[in-house]
Amino acid sequence: MSAGTPGCIHEEAGWRGADDARASLLHTLRAMGAARLNVGTSGNASQRLEGGRMLISPSGIPAERCRTEDMVVVEADGRYAGARAPSSEWPLHHDVYTAFPAAGAVLHAHAPFATALACQRLDIPPFHYMIARFGGTTVRCARYATFGTQALSDATVAALQERSACLLANHGMVVLGRDLEHALAMAIEFETLCEQYWRTLQLGEPVLLSEEEMAEVIERFKWYGKPRA
């Protein structure tokens, strides 16, 4: 069964080993709301599981109404287990995990400042050195495609090459992390950076860092936040 055509499976095997992950995912969903990354039923989050599976938030339910058992296990072939259907963006999450083996969690949000920039279809240039936190000298905006489609998945994977975050044109943001805690922290940091860029644009054209200045920052970020050897 291909991505984009999920089917329900009723056996309990899909849930084995996922209990702790379900609680962590629900906690993350609610934390996204508390951080104003999402409102209502917008956005979604997932965590990679063993065997090519993932755990993802359900379709069309606000985080505050979700229960742990509403989190949905999606198999590598697109079948799913549980009482709820997976988020309509599950193919995007599936394709991101396939393309980026180091990603342990994926967050998609309609955060206000990220979405404002995405609706202008703007890449974020090196106006601040913390752009390097997300893998390069810019954060890209993926080309527009309808939500839940293979075209959106393809555009997202392309925009995330050598990056851990991107904007989705006229839509929102996607952020990758080692795990849910890391992905949430990165999403909050990314939204803060989007706000800073949005505010900078109100003052005029920003002064950008040069390629040489960003190259030095990127080199320093190779050991940023890592323990001493």
**Catalytic (active-site) positions:** 89
84 near 141, Cβ under 8 Å?
A: no
Residue 201: CB atoms within 10 A of its CB come to 15
- State how far the Cα of 120 lies from the Cα of 123, in Å rounded to an integer: 9
CB atoms within 10 A of CB 134: 23
Residue in the block written with tokens 């644009």: 201
| Residue 179: count of CB within 10 angstroms of its CB | 15
- Sheet harboring 54-56: ordered strands across? 7-9, 79-81, 72-74, 54-56, 44-48, 105-109, 172-177, 165-168, 141-142
